[in-house]
A and B are shown apart, each in its own frame.
Chain A
Protein backbone atom coordinates (compact mmCIF):
# COMPACT_ATOMS: atom_id res chain seq x y z
CA UNK A 1 0.00 0.00 0.00
CA UNK A 2 1.49 3.38 -0.93
CA UNK A 3 1.80 6.36 1.40
CA UNK A 4 0.43 9.90 1.10
CA UNK A 5 2.27 13.15 1.67
CA UNK A 6 0.18 16.32 1.90
CA UNK A 7 1.44 19.87 1.52
CA UNK A 8 -1.25 22.54 1.61
CA UNK A 9 -3.78 21.50 -1.08
CA UNK A 10 -1.56 18.94 -2.79
CA UNK A 11 -1.43 15.27 -1.96
CA UNK A 12 1.38 13.15 -3.36
CA UNK A 13 1.18 9.37 -3.53
CA UNK A 14 4.54 7.76 -2.96
CA UNK A 15 5.94 4.27 -2.53
CA UNK A 16 6.87 3.26 1.00
CA UNK A 17 10.31 2.12 2.06
CA UNK A 18 12.46 5.18 1.41
CA UNK A 19 13.51 7.78 3.95
CA UNK A 20 11.36 10.83 4.31
CA UNK A 21 14.18 13.04 3.04
CA UNK A 22 14.47 10.97 -0.10
CA UNK A 23 10.68 10.98 -0.58
CA UNK A 24 10.57 14.78 -0.23
CA UNK A 25 13.35 15.25 -2.73
CA UNK A 26 11.53 12.95 -5.11
CA UNK A 27 8.36 15.08 -5.03
CA UNK A 28 10.40 18.28 -5.36
CA UNK A 29 9.96 19.61 -1.82
CA UNK A 30 13.03 21.04 -0.13
CA UNK A 31 13.23 19.34 3.30
CA UNK A 32 14.59 22.56 4.80
CA UNK A 33 11.31 24.36 4.10
CA UNK A 34 8.85 22.02 5.82
CA UNK A 35 8.15 20.20 9.06
CA UNK A 36 6.82 16.67 8.45
CA UNK A 37 4.20 15.31 10.86
CA UNK A 38 2.52 11.93 11.25
CA UNK A 39 -0.47 11.65 13.57
CA UNK A 40 0.40 15.11 14.87
CA UNK A 41 3.98 14.11 15.80
CA UNK A 42 6.99 15.84 14.28
CA UNK A 43 9.27 13.54 12.30
CA UNK A 44 12.95 13.77 11.42
CA UNK A 45 13.72 13.18 7.78
CA UNK A 46 15.64 9.94 8.31
CA UNK A 47 12.37 8.18 9.26
CA UNK A 48 11.23 5.52 6.83
CA UNK A 49 7.97 6.09 4.99
CA UNK A 50 5.69 3.18 5.90
CA UNK A 51 2.81 1.56 4.06
CA UNK A 52 -0.38 3.57 4.49
CA UNK A 53 1.34 6.56 6.10
CA UNK A 54 -0.43 9.92 5.95
CA UNK A 55 2.31 12.48 6.32
CA UNK A 56 1.37 16.13 6.57
CA UNK A 57 3.99 18.73 5.69
CA UNK A 58 3.82 22.07 7.46
CA UNK A 59 5.35 24.82 5.35
CA UNK A 60 7.54 27.09 7.43
CA UNK A 61 8.44 29.88 5.02
CA UNK A 62 6.70 33.21 5.32
CA UNK A 63 7.38 36.59 3.78
CA UNK A 64 6.07 40.00 2.81
CA UNK A 65 6.56 43.35 4.50
CA UNK A 66 7.77 42.00 7.84
Chain B
Protein backbone atom coordinates (compact mmCIF):
# COMPACT_ATOMS: atom_id res chain seq x y z
CA UNK B 1 0.00 0.00 0.00
CA UNK B 2 1.27 3.46 -0.93
CA UNK B 3 1.14 6.76 0.92
CA UNK B 4 -1.63 8.84 -0.57
CA UNK B 5 0.50 11.99 -0.33
CA UNK B 6 3.85 10.89 -1.76
CA UNK B 7 3.54 7.32 -3.04
CA UNK B 8 6.15 5.92 -0.62
CA UNK B 9 5.46 2.73 1.33
CA UNK B 10 2.57 3.33 3.74
CA UNK B 11 2.96 2.41 7.42
CA UNK B 12 -0.67 2.84 8.42
CA UNK B 13 -3.93 2.35 6.60
CA UNK B 14 -6.83 4.18 8.24
CA UNK B 15 -9.80 2.51 6.65
CA UNK B 16 -12.26 4.85 8.40
CA UNK B 17 -10.67 7.79 6.55
CA UNK B 18 -9.78 5.81 3.40
CA UNK B 19 -6.30 7.13 3.96
CA UNK B 20 -2.93 5.41 4.05
CA UNK B 21 0.20 7.35 4.92
CA UNK B 22 3.96 6.84 5.09
CA UNK B 23 5.85 7.47 8.31
CA UNK B 24 6.75 11.06 7.48
CA UNK B 25 3.26 12.09 6.40
CA UNK B 26 1.53 10.26 9.26
CA UNK B 27 3.75 12.11 11.76
CA UNK B 28 2.63 15.36 10.14
CA UNK B 29 -1.01 14.36 9.82
CA UNK B 30 -1.69 13.44 13.44
CA UNK B 31 -0.55 16.74 15.00
CA UNK B 32 -2.46 18.62 12.28
CA UNK B 33 -5.61 16.71 13.17
CA UNK B 34 -5.04 17.38 16.88
CA UNK B 35 -4.63 21.09 16.19
CA UNK B 36 -7.86 21.04 14.18
CA UNK B 37 -9.76 19.50 17.12
CA UNK B 38 -8.17 21.92 19.62
CA UNK B 39 -9.48 24.81 17.52
CA UNK B 40 -12.83 23.29 16.58
CA UNK B 41 -13.79 22.59 20.20
CA UNK B 42 -12.02 25.72 21.53
CA UNK B 43 -9.92 23.71 23.96
CA UNK B 44 -7.14 26.19 24.69
CA UNK B 45 -4.82 28.76 23.18
CA UNK B 46 -1.06 29.11 22.95
CA UNK B 47 -1.24 31.71 25.75
CA UNK B 48 -2.74 29.30 28.29
CA UNK B 49 -0.82 26.92 30.57
CA UNK B 50 -1.83 23.30 30.13
CA UNK B 51 -1.39 20.44 32.57
CA UNK B 52 -1.24 17.08 30.78
CA UNK B 53 -2.19 14.04 32.86
CA UNK B 54 0.57 11.58 32.00
CA UNK B 55 0.25 7.89 32.85
CA UNK B 56 3.36 6.68 31.04
CA UNK B 57 1.12 5.06 28.42
CA UNK B 58 1.01 5.63 24.69
CA UNK B 59 -1.87 8.11 24.60
CA UNK B 60 -0.78 10.54 27.28
CA UNK B 61 2.89 10.56 26.24
CA UNK B 62 1.84 10.90 22.59
CA UNK B 63 -0.42 13.80 23.51
CA UNK B 64 2.31 15.54 25.50
CA UNK B 65 4.67 15.12 22.55
CA UNK B 66 2.14 16.52 20.07
CA UNK B 67 1.34 19.53 22.28
CA UNK B 68 4.97 20.46 22.69
CA UNK B 69 5.55 20.00 18.93
CA UNK B 70 2.60 22.34 18.32
CA UNK B 71 4.24 24.93 20.58
CA UNK B 72 1.85 24.79 23.53
CA UNK B 73 2.94 25.44 27.14
CA UNK B 74 2.28 21.94 28.41
CA UNK B 75 3.60 20.55 31.69
CA UNK B 76 2.96 16.99 32.88
CA UNK B 77 1.38 15.45 35.95
CA UNK B 78 2.19 11.86 36.87
CA UNK B 79 0.21 10.17 39.65
CA UNK B 80 2.02 7.22 41.20
CA UNK B 81 -0.75 4.84 42.23
CA UNK B 82 1.51 2.34 43.98
CA UNK B 83 0.42 -0.55 41.74
CA UNK B 84 3.38 -2.90 41.86
CA UNK B 85 1.88 -6.32 41.11
CA UNK B 86 3.24 -8.25 38.17
CA UNK B 87 6.02 -6.33 36.50
CA UNK B 88 5.94 -3.25 38.76
CA UNK B 89 3.38 -1.30 36.78
CA UNK B 90 3.65 2.02 38.64
CA UNK B 91 7.45 2.01 38.86
CA UNK B 92 7.79 1.32 35.16
CA UNK B 93 5.20 3.86 34.08
CA UNK B 94 6.71 6.52 36.39
CA UNK B 95 10.10 5.85 34.87
CA UNK B 96 8.64 6.23 31.33
CA UNK B 97 6.98 9.54 32.20
CA UNK B 98 10.14 10.88 33.87
CA UNK B 99 12.37 9.77 31.01
CA UNK B 100 10.16 11.54 28.47
CA UNK B 101 10.14 14.74 30.53
CA UNK B 102 13.93 14.65 30.94
CA UNK B 103 14.57 13.94 27.27
CA UNK B 104 12.43 16.92 26.20
CA UNK B 105 13.35 19.18 29.13
CA UNK B 106 9.73 19.42 30.23
CA UNK B 107 8.31 19.97 33.72
CA UNK B 108 6.73 16.90 35.29
CA UNK B 109 4.87 17.13 38.60
CA UNK B 110 4.67 13.85 40.48
CA UNK B 111 2.13 12.95 43.15
CA UNK B 112 2.93 9.75 45.04
CA UNK B 113 -0.38 8.32 46.29
CA UNK B 114 0.99 5.93 48.96
CA UNK B 115 3.29 8.66 50.36
CA UNK B 116 0.65 11.40 50.19
CA UNK B 117 -2.53 9.58 51.13
CA UNK B 118 -1.20 6.73 53.24
CA UNK B 119 -1.96 3.71 51.06
CA UNK B 120 -1.56 2.44 47.52
CA UNK B 121 -4.61 2.14 45.28
CA UNK B 122 -4.75 -1.68 45.61
CA UNK B 123 -4.61 -1.41 49.42
CA UNK B 124 -7.22 1.35 49.48
CA UNK B 125 -9.48 -0.67 47.21
CA UNK B 126 -9.25 -3.67 49.55
CA UNK B 127 -10.28 -1.53 52.50
CA UNK B 128 -13.35 0.16 51.05
CA UNK B 129 -16.75 -1.04 49.95
CA UNK B 130 -16.40 1.20 46.92
CA UNK B 131 -13.33 -0.59 45.67
CA UNK B 132 -13.30 -4.11 47.02
CA UNK B 133 -14.58 -5.62 43.79
CA UNK B 134 -13.52 -2.83 41.47
CA UNK B 135 -10.25 -1.01 42.24
CA UNK B 136 -10.76 1.07 39.08
CA UNK B 137 -13.50 2.97 40.91
CA UNK B 138 -11.21 4.12 43.77
CA UNK B 139 -8.44 4.74 41.25
CA UNK B 140 -10.61 6.94 39.02
CA UNK B 141 -11.99 8.88 42.00
CA UNK B 142 -8.48 9.49 43.34
CA UNK B 143 -6.98 10.50 40.00
CA UNK B 144 -9.80 12.93 39.20
CA UNK B 145 -9.41 14.57 42.62
CA UNK B 146 -5.62 14.89 42.39
CA UNK B 147 -5.65 16.13 38.79
CA UNK B 148 -8.12 18.90 39.60
CA UNK B 149 -6.37 19.87 42.83
CA UNK B 150 -2.90 20.09 41.25
CA UNK B 151 -4.19 22.01 38.21
CA UNK B 152 -6.04 24.46 40.47
CA UNK B 153 -3.27 24.86 43.05
CA UNK B 154 -0.59 25.45 40.43
CA UNK B 155 -2.67 27.84 38.36
CA UNK B 156 -3.09 25.85 35.15
CA UNK B 157 -5.90 27.04 32.89
CA UNK B 158 -6.70 23.61 31.60
CA UNK B 159 -6.22 19.91 32.28
CA UNK B 160 -5.63 17.74 29.21
CA UNK B 161 -6.03 13.96 29.17
CA UNK B 162 -5.05 11.44 26.51
CA UNK B 163 -8.51 9.91 26.04
CA UNK B 164 -8.78 8.67 22.48
CA UNK B 165 -11.80 7.89 20.34
CA UNK B 166 -11.94 4.27 21.47
CA UNK B 167 -12.02 5.38 25.12
CA UNK B 168 -14.78 7.87 24.38
CA UNK B 169 -16.85 5.47 22.34
CA UNK B 170 -16.55 2.69 24.95
CA UNK B 171 -17.84 5.08 27.64
CA UNK B 172 -20.57 6.33 25.33
CA UNK B 173 -21.60 2.77 24.50
CA UNK B 174 -21.80 1.77 28.17
CA UNK B 175 -23.73 4.86 29.17
CA UNK B 176 -26.11 4.42 26.25
CA UNK B 177 -26.82 0.81 27.18
CA UNK B 178 -27.92 1.98 30.63
CA UNK B 179 -29.25 5.37 29.47
CA UNK B 180 -27.10 7.08 32.07
CA UNK B 181 -28.26 10.51 30.95
CA UNK B 182 -26.34 12.35 33.66
CA UNK B 183 -23.05 10.88 32.45
CA UNK B 184 -24.01 11.27 28.79
CA UNK B 185 -24.73 14.96 29.36
CA UNK B 186 -21.21 15.43 30.72
CA UNK B 187 -19.38 13.55 27.96
CA UNK B 188 -17.73 16.05 25.63
CA UNK B 189 -14.35 17.01 24.16
CA UNK B 190 -14.34 19.98 26.56
CA UNK B 191 -15.80 20.33 30.03
CA UNK B 192 -15.79 24.01 30.87
CA UNK B 193 -14.41 25.26 34.17
CA UNK B 194 -17.07 25.65 36.83
CA UNK B 195 -17.32 26.06 40.59
CA UNK B 196 -13.84 24.88 41.52
CA UNK B 197 -13.28 22.55 38.57
CA UNK B 198 -10.67 23.48 36.00
CA UNK B 199 -11.48 23.12 32.30
CA UNK B 200 -10.89 19.57 31.08
CA UNK B 201 -10.08 18.75 27.48
CA UNK B 202 -9.44 15.66 25.36
CA UNK B 203 -7.45 16.69 22.28
CA UNK B 204 -7.21 13.05 21.04
CA UNK B 205 -10.95 12.39 21.35
CA UNK B 206 -11.36 11.89 17.61
CA UNK B 207 -8.22 9.83 17.05
CA UNK B 208 -8.48 6.06 16.98
CA UNK B 209 -6.46 4.24 19.64
CA UNK B 210 -4.56 2.55 16.82
CA UNK B 211 -3.55 5.95 15.38
CA UNK B 212 -2.40 7.17 18.77
CA UNK B 213 -0.35 4.00 19.32
CA UNK B 214 1.19 4.24 15.84
CA UNK B 215 2.18 7.86 16.48
CA UNK B 216 3.92 7.05 19.77
CA UNK B 217 5.74 4.11 18.21
CA UNK B 218 6.84 6.02 15.12
CA UNK B 219 8.09 8.90 17.25
CA UNK B 220 10.24 6.40 19.14
CA UNK B 221 8.66 7.23 22.49
CA UNK B 222 9.10 4.53 25.13
CA UNK B 223 5.80 3.88 26.86
CA UNK B 224 4.53 1.33 29.32
CA UNK B 225 3.33 -1.47 27.10
CA UNK B 226 1.93 -3.66 29.85
CA UNK B 227 -1.65 -3.01 30.83
CA UNK B 228 -2.52 -2.08 34.42
CA UNK B 229 -2.98 -5.48 36.16
CA UNK B 230 -6.38 -4.34 37.44
CA UNK B 231 -7.67 -3.55 33.94
CA UNK B 232 -8.04 -7.24 33.15
CA UNK B 233 -11.72 -7.94 32.70
CA UNK B 234 -12.59 -4.23 32.82
CA UNK B 235 -15.94 -3.42 31.24
CA UNK B 236 -14.33 -0.73 29.10
CA UNK B 237 -12.12 -3.35 27.44
CA UNK B 238 -15.12 -5.58 26.81
CA UNK B 239 -16.96 -2.68 25.14
CA UNK B 240 -13.90 -1.85 23.06
CA UNK B 241 -13.74 -5.42 21.88
CA UNK B 242 -17.41 -5.40 20.84
CA UNK B 243 -16.98 -2.07 19.07
CA UNK B 244 -13.84 -3.20 17.28
CA UNK B 245 -15.66 -6.23 15.93
CA UNK B 246 -18.26 -3.87 14.49
CA UNK B 247 -15.49 -1.63 13.14
CA UNK B 248 -13.87 -4.55 11.34
CA UNK B 249 -17.09 -5.12 9.42
CA UNK B 250 -17.99 -1.47 9.00
CA UNK B 251 -14.96 0.84 9.03
CA UNK B 252 -15.79 4.23 10.53
CA UNK B 253 -18.70 3.07 12.68
CA UNK B 254 -16.96 4.12 15.94
CA UNK B 255 -16.21 7.60 14.66
CA UNK B 256 -19.71 7.99 13.27
CA UNK B 257 -21.26 6.87 16.60
CA UNK B 258 -19.23 9.46 18.49
CA UNK B 259 -19.75 12.34 16.07
CA UNK B 260 -23.49 11.74 15.76
CA UNK B 261 -23.69 11.67 19.58
CA UNK B 262 -21.90 15.03 19.80
CA UNK B 263 -24.26 16.42 17.17
CA UNK B 264 -27.34 15.16 19.03
CA UNK B 265 -25.97 16.52 22.29
CA UNK B 266 -25.32 19.93 20.72
CA UNK B 267 -28.87 19.83 19.36
CA UNK B 268 -30.31 19.60 22.87
CA UNK B 269 -30.93 15.84 23.03
CA UNK B 270 -29.73 15.73 26.63
CA UNK B 271 -31.19 18.99 27.91
CA UNK B 272 -32.56 18.61 31.44
CA UNK B 273 -36.35 18.46 31.70
CA UNK B 274 -38.13 21.74 32.35
CA UNK B 275 -38.06 22.49 36.05
CA UNK B 276 -35.30 19.97 36.79
CA UNK B 277 -33.04 21.22 39.57
CA UNK B 278 -29.31 20.74 39.09
CA UNK B 279 -27.51 19.65 42.26
CA UNK B 280 -25.67 22.58 43.77
CA UNK B 281 -21.86 22.47 44.02
CA UNK B 282 -20.36 23.37 47.38
CA UNK B 283 -16.79 23.18 48.60
CA UNK B 284 -15.97 20.07 50.61
CA UNK B 285 -15.39 21.24 54.23
CA UNK B 286 -12.33 18.99 54.41
CA UNK B 287 -10.40 19.54 51.15
CA UNK B 288 -12.19 22.50 49.57
CA UNK B 289 -12.84 20.75 46.26
CA UNK B 290 -16.35 21.08 44.84
CA UNK B 291 -18.94 18.42 45.64
CA UNK B 292 -22.69 17.93 45.35
CA UNK B 293 -22.83 15.68 48.41
CA UNK B 294 -23.87 18.46 50.79
CA UNK B 295 -21.01 17.52 53.13
CA UNK B 296 -17.63 15.84 52.83
CA UNK B 297 -16.80 14.83 49.25
CA UNK B 298 -16.60 11.18 48.20
CA UNK B 299 -12.80 11.38 47.85
CA UNK B 300 -12.38 12.49 51.48
CA UNK B 301 -14.96 9.98 52.74
CA UNK B 302 -13.24 7.14 50.89
CA UNK B 303 -9.73 8.02 52.03
CA UNK B 304 -10.81 8.76 55.62
CA UNK B 305 -12.31 5.26 55.70
CA UNK B 306 -9.11 3.76 54.25
CA UNK B 307 -6.90 5.46 56.84
CA UNK B 308 -9.17 4.53 59.76
CA UNK B 309 -9.09 0.87 58.68
CA UNK B 310 -5.34 0.97 58.19
CA UNK B 311 -4.86 2.03 61.81
CA UNK B 312 -7.62 -0.18 63.30
CA UNK B 313 -6.27 -3.19 65.22
CA UNK B 314 -7.09 -6.61 63.86
CA UNK B 315 -9.26 -7.52 66.86
CA UNK B 316 -11.83 -4.92 65.80
CA UNK B 317 -11.48 -2.59 68.82
CA UNK B 318 -11.54 1.10 68.16
CA UNK B 319 -7.99 2.48 68.37
CA UNK B 320 -9.39 5.91 69.29
CA UNK B 321 -11.09 4.71 72.46
CA UNK B 322 -9.16 4.29 75.73
CA UNK B 323 -8.55 0.60 76.53
- In the complex the two chains form, is B217's CB within 8 Å of A42's CB? yes
State A44–B135 Cα separation when bound (angstroms): 37
Ordered nearest first, which 5 A-B pairs have the shortest CB separation? A64-B231, A65-B140, A63-B237, A65-B136, A63-B236
With A62-B237, A65-B140, A66-B55 given, name 17 new contacts (CB 8 A): A35-B12, A35-B213, A44-B12, A46-B1, A58-B225, A60-B58, A61-B166, A61-B240, A62-B209, A62-B228, A63-B167, A63-B234, A64-B136, A64-B230, A64-B237, A65-B136, A66-B163
| Chain B contact patch, size range | 35 or more
Contact with B along A23-60 (1 / 0, CB 8 A): 00000001111010100011111110000000000101
Q: Is the interface of A mostly helix, strand, loop or mixed?
A: loop
Question: Could you say which of A32, A41, A64 contacts B228, with CB atoms under 8 Å apart?
Answer: A64
- In the complex the two chains form, is B247's CB within 8 Å of A61's CB? no
**Residues of A contacting B170 in the complex (Cβ-Cβ under 8 angstroms):** 63
B49 within 8 Å of A (CB atoms): no
Interface size counted on chain A using CB atoms at 8 A: 21
B244 within 8 Å of A (CB atoms): yes
- Contacts A32-B244, A44-B20; A65 near B214 (Cβ below 8 A): no
**Least Cβ–Cβ distance between B95 and chain A, in angstroms:** 18
Sample 28 A-B pairs with CB under 8 A, ordered by A number: A30-B245, A31-B248, A32-B244, A33-B244, A35-B12, A35-B213, A37-B217, A42-B12, A44-B10, A44-B13, A45-B13, A46-B1, A46-B13, A60-B210, A60-B213, A61-B237, A62-B58, A62-B59, A63-B231, A63-B240, A64-B136, A64-B231, A64-B234, A65-B136, A65-B143, A66-B163, A66-B167, A66-B236
State A62–B231 Cα separation when bound (angstroms): 8
Contact with A along B1-25 (1 / 0, CB 8 A): 1000000001111000000100100
**Residues of A contacting B228 in the complex (Cβ-Cβ under 8 angstroms):** 62, 64
B181 within 8 Å of A (CB atoms): no
Q: Which residues of A contact B (CB under 8 A)?
A: 30-33, 35, 37, 41-47, 58, 60-66
- Nearest to B2 among chain A residues (CB) is A44
Question: Could you say which of B58, B137, B234, B248 contacts A30, with CB atoms under 8 Å apart?
Answer: B248
B218 within 8 Å of A (CB atoms): yes
- Contacts A35-B214, A46-B1, A66-B167; A61 near B140 (Cβ below 8 A): no
- Contacts A32-B248, A35-B217, A44-B20; A61 near B11 (Cβ below 8 A): no
- In the complex the two chains form, is B1's CB within 8 Å of A62's CB? no
Contact with A along B238-267 (1 / 0, CB 8 A): 001100110110000000000000000000
Q: Which residue, of A32, A42, A43, A65, has the highest number of chain B Cβ atoms within 10 A?
A: A65
- Nearest to B213 among chain A residues (CB) is A60
**Least Cβ–Cβ distance between A33 and chain B, in angstroms:** 5
Contact with A along B162-182 (1 / 0, CB 8 A): 010011001000000000000
Question: Could you say which of B11, B210, B217, B237 contacts A32, with CB atoms under 8 Å apart?
Answer: B210
- Nearest to B228 among chain A residues (CB) is A64
